[in-house]
Amino acid sequence: MRSNLKPEKTIREGRLYDLTEQEKKAILVGVHFSSAAKLECSEQLDELESLCETYGLVTILKMPCPLREYNAGLYLGKGKVEEIGRLVEQLQCDIVIFDNEISPQQQRNLEKAFQCTVIDRTELILGVFAQRARTSEAKLQIELASVRYQVPRLRRLWTHLSRQRTGGSGGGYLKGEGEKQIEIDRRLLKNQVESIQKEIEQVARHRETQRRERERTGIPTFAIIGYTNVGKSTLMNALTDADVFVEDKLFATLDTTTRKFVLSNKQSILLIDTVGFIRKIPHMLVAAFKSTLEEAVQADILIHLVDASSPRASLQIEATLEILKELGASSRPIVTVLNKADQCQDSVAMASLLEKNPKSIAISALQRTGFDALLDRMMHEIAALRKTVRLRVPQSHYADLSDVLREGKVFSREYEENDILLEVEIPKSLERKIAHYLIGEQ
């Protein structure tokens, strides 16, 4: 077995087990249940290849395999497993990556059959995140996700160690040592999960305070969300001086960045750059990044950025909307923005995207075109966030409304005995503050 699985080497360190520099050739395997689904399977393998490239693995072969019957032990049919085993040998590959999720048991059996490391898409995504996490919060989040991922797989890591120790000469360890170790390790991991969770909660509390603070000021917030690598950070940089890291690889951004921006009508807004989404995002990642993602989806308005030049644009839109639904954010106002218009060779594809997504706006974040239409639309969306209300406020309470008056636009002010009558346009986010004084609205 060429791979060297050691319990102390985990994805947490940003490397998939112990692959050395020369050992990084990968075979990618996807399955489809009908010949009609083969094209989609191949497209998904292209995305898996991008993930591999981001991680630093070289894809040698992509294999869309027809699957007639699910094999509980090996996932694929026996003949296919033998074929892949031979290819691993011939092509001197070090790792086989499955686009679909495989069970820890299947993983073990396949490693035995292929005589090399076998992982699935989830583990690769976790590896990519681990490698690219920069801030302490992102590091904590990925640590939590990978520890959760490791728990059911402990046996695999320890079986190897156990075999190694008992097999050699000079006594070694007793049979079953690995089993006992699994129990100890499971407990250790459980403690680890709890302590990381506590730290994350603390960060999340801080984030929540910041969010409340923003809500208090009533400045409208826009979150730029969308599939990974569509140009979210490029747009953020083009509109503000955020200087966010941009790269033509997946998951360049793992943290949210917020910047103030002033629209041409002098309206201040906050713009948030967010971590990108991906199809079949591992659940433990969504759970671990919940506080980061929540901050994004709780923005007043979502700018859903799409890479219109990608042949997979429609699938990516679907995947993004699906994740928004999971996060409970699909009812937020969404502005669909078709980016990379400069790179769209296929005008028919662009026209079809515009047709399928009515009211969407085409831009190039890189060449800064289409921005006027985008900014106009943003102003329009803000207007829809505001409403005009009539209030009766006792003079002694007038100071309570300082936020409302600062963020609102007062149309009329009349004095009546002890009260002040106001007609004022306010952000809907401040509605709670005026509820007590409301006498009418438009």
Ligand X SMILES: Nc1nc2c(ncn2[C@@H]2O[C@H](COP(=O)(O)OP(=O)(O)OP(=O)(O)O)[C@@H](O)[C@H]2O)c(=O)[nH]1
The residues of the shown chain that bind Mg ion, judged by CB under 5 A, are 232-233, 252-253
Taking the complex as a whole, the smallest distance from the CB of residue 50 to ligand X amounts, in Å, to 11
Taking the complex as a whole, the smallest distance from the CB of residue 80 to ligand X amounts, in Å, to 33
x-marked contacts with ligand X along 149-188 as a string, rule CB under 6 A: ----------------------------------------
Which of Mg ion, ligand X, none sits in contact with 342, Cβ below 5 to 8 A by type?
A: ligand X
Taking the complex as a whole, the smallest distance from the CB of residue 246 to Mg ion amounts, in Å, to 7
Cβ-count burial of 366 within 10 angstroms (0-12 exposed, 13-18 middle, 19+ buried)?
Answer: middle
343 part of the interface to ligand X, by CB under 6 A? yes
Identify the three-state secondary structure at position 69.
coil
Which of Mg ion, ligand X, none sits in contact with 40, Cβ below 5 to 8 A by type?
A: none
Q: What span, in angstroms and rounded, lies between the C-alpha atoms of 41 and 421? A: 64
Taking the complex as a whole, the smallest distance from the CB of residue 233 to ligand X amounts, in Å, to 3
Q: What span, in angstroms and rounded, lies between the C-alpha atoms of 254 and 138? A: 6
253 vs 429 by CB, closer to Mg ion: 253
Residue with tokens 């076998």: 118
Tokens representing 19? 């692959």
Contact residue for ligand X among 141, 146, 181, 228 (CB under 6 A):
228
Which of ligand X, Mg ion, none sits in contact with 234, Cβ below 5 to 8 A by type?
A: ligand X
80 part of the interface to ligand X, by CB under 6 A? no
276 part of the interface to ligand X, by CB under 6 A? yes
Q: What span, in angstroms and rounded, lies between the C-alpha atoms of 436 and 256? A: 35
User: What is the Rg, in whole angstroms, of the alpha carbon atoms belonging to the chain?
Assistant: 27
250 part of the interface to ligand X, by CB under 6 A? yes
Taking the complex as a whole, the smallest distance from the CB of residue 251 to Mg ion amounts, in Å, to 8
Q: Which span (2-10, 91-99, 315-323, 335-343) binds ligand X, by CB under 6 A?
A: 335-343
247 vs 318 by CB, closer to Mg ion: 247
268-273/257-262 β-pairing:
antiparallel
Strands lying side by side in the sheet with 58-66: 58-66, 25-32, 95-98, 117-120
3 vs 253 by CB, closer to ligand X: 253
Q: What span, in angstroms and rounded, lies between the C-alpha atoms of 286 and 125? A: 12
233 part of the interface to ligand X, by CB under 6 A? yes
Residue with tokens 């960060």: 203
The residues, ordered by sequence, that sit 6+ positions from 92 with a Cβ below 8 Å of its Cβ are 25
257 part of the interface to ligand X, by CB under 6 A? no
Q: Which span (35-43, 95-103, 319-327, 362-370) binds ligand X, by CB under 6 A?
A: 362-370
181 vs 234 by CB, closer to ligand X: 234
39 vs 351 by CB, closer to ligand X: 351
Axis crossing angle, helix 136-150 with helix 177-217, rounded to the nearest 10: 140
Identify the three-state secondary structure at position 414.
strand
Taking the complex as a whole, the smallest distance from the CB of residue 243 to Mg ion amounts, in Å, to 12
Q: How far is CA 92 from the centre of its chain?
A: 33
Q: Which span (14-22, 101-109, 250-258, 346-354) binds ligand X, by CB under 6 A?
A: 250-258
247 part of the interface to ligand X, by CB under 6 A? yes
Contact residue for ligand X among 55, 251, 289, 437 (CB under 6 A):
251
Q: How far is CA 261 from the centre of its chain?
A: 24
Which of ligand X, Mg ion, none sits in contact with 414, Cβ below 5 to 8 A by type?
A: none
Q: Compute the C-alpha angle 427/429/434, nearest 5°.
A: 80
The residues, ordered by sequence, that sit 6+ positions from 428 with a Cβ below 8 Å of its Cβ are 385, 386, 387
x-marked contacts with ligand X along 183-222 as a string, rule CB under 6 A: ----------------------------------------
Cβ-count burial of 132 within 10 angstroms (0-12 exposed, 13-18 middle, 19+ buried)?
Answer: buried
233 vs 310 by CB, closer to Mg ion: 233
Q: Compute the C-alpha angle 279/285/289, nearest 5°.
A: 110
Tokens representing 391? 């209030």
252 vs 270 by CB, closer to ligand X: 252
What is the per-residue DSSP string for 177-189? HHHHHHHHHHHHH
Give all strands (DSSP E) within 90-219, no chain letters.
95-98, 117-120
Report the residue closest to ligand X, judged by CB: 276
Q: For binding to ligand X (CB under 6 A), which residues are involved?
A: 228-234, 246-248, 250-253, 276, 339-340, 342-343, 364-366
